[in-house]
Structure 1
């Protein structure tokens, strides 16, 4: 096992502070170019500096900026690989239901889905709402393609029998 890094000494706190004051704007600019978002860039720089602080004494004075940039890049790659899908501000709101009928249909669908067993519900959501293939769904759920097919068939049969989802002649568009 490797040696546990010790925290930077109090004497080097001023060195670290001076580094952040001098190179912070440059690091932030690089982070912004990576993320494309000011707040995420600030988070990225803060995270990289937080990871660097415990090892500050062990990084030679010359390559400290390169070290911080490397930490920043590997952190960004880790975030990207996680495919973070957080909220982003937008000027245009997504389309909203316009009628009580739309709201009733959404409620009925959610009620019908909630009545399905968890495995069947997961298959329906992944296959028909997320538009994944049977193979992709099987991989995500850790089961075989045959299981996905049978679960989907059972779920659709159950949903077809659900009275809340029954469509009458007058409701067809």
Structure 2
């Protein structure tokens, strides 16, 4: 008896999936429906396999599952306004904006003189002190503060300048 069921699934699975996909217009929902139906059909295969055309019986099960899925979904769907949805979960910032800002900042940093750029990277990326930066750059701590101050001033001035102009 299990061999009959396995053979049925092997022979008819593609057709059942195509039928369910045509019903649902959703490949993944169709797969879920066919899977649920085939699991139920396996437990009742002794009776289903005895009917004249088991495929039509299972196809009817797929249809009924689809129709009941629609009814179950309609019973669960609750209409909500945008205001109530915003209260439940506030809007999330678009991560692409952060990437675009970072790329624009990289372009602005790239036009800085090398020592100013190095001083900025050491301060804000490596979290180095003025003394450590001075040692690395081979200058005084006052010069380090000057490099950082000039670099930040240049970045502020170029903040509203389009990145393409700076390239």
- TM-score, length-scaled by structure 2: 0.43
Larger Rg: 2
Q: TM-score, normalised to structure 1's length?
A: 0.41
